[in-house]
A = this chain, B = another copy of it.
């Protein structure tokens, strides 16, 4: 059932092996895994290694470790493959496109149900953002607050979480490195203007306008990004945008 493993980051190999067994259905949901000691023996590794692999799977939400009882399969698909080596996360352009599609739907939805206090939240974020265009930290925090603030208008925790997560993905080292080359007071001021247009559309209950403004904002972000990106790598073909980006993020 379990076969021995080989070199290189053993606990990850063990985790991969068990994960794939869950994935293909060899281990079904609800099933109890062998004890750690037994797994260690069958895999020809030590118990600490098995423990580390199981902790990986637990963090991924695939198994549930119950003290004194055992280890149980609780889910078949990983919720997040972010840290896995299998796929090097998405590129910045891809991310901005996804945000354009998702967040303009959220803005459209929010426009119909914004209350004065919701608008106040947006205004507060706008103020912080316009007042801090010279400090990347404050402006980023305010930017995030604005986008999640829109999701909050709909009153749905999942939307807020997803919006925040997508925003946070720009916090990868690679993305930040690129961003540092093109983000500055001028681009931030443009962003503030676009935010204000979104805010106004939502405040006036203009669903179509909010949608359009949000799409414009994220499309322009993408444009700003690609323009600087093109300057940086002026010789490069703009076509294979995400490929180039992914290649850079890979294998550091």
Contacts and interface: CB of A to CB of B under 8 A. Distances in A.
Interface in A147-185: 154, 156-159, 161-162, 164-166, 168-169, 171-173, 176
Contact of A59 (B48, B83, B95, B172): B83
A197 B102 CA distance: 22
A162 B95 CA distance: 11
A193 B59 CA distance: 36
Interface residues of A, number: 61
A173 B102 CA distance: 28
A30 B136 CA distance: 14
Interface stretch (A71-79, A122-130, A227-235): A71-79
Interface string A49-78: 001100110111100100100000011111
8 closest cross-chain pairs (CB), A and B: A105-B105, A98-B158, A61-B83, A77-B168, A80-B80, A75-B171, A79-B82, A59-B59
Interface of A: 7, 9, 11, 25, 28-30, 48, 51-52, 55-56, 58-61, 64, 67, 74-83, 87, 90, 94-95, 97-99, 101-102, 104-106, 109, 112, 137, 144, 154, 156-159, 161-162, 164-166, 168-169, 171-173, 176, 241
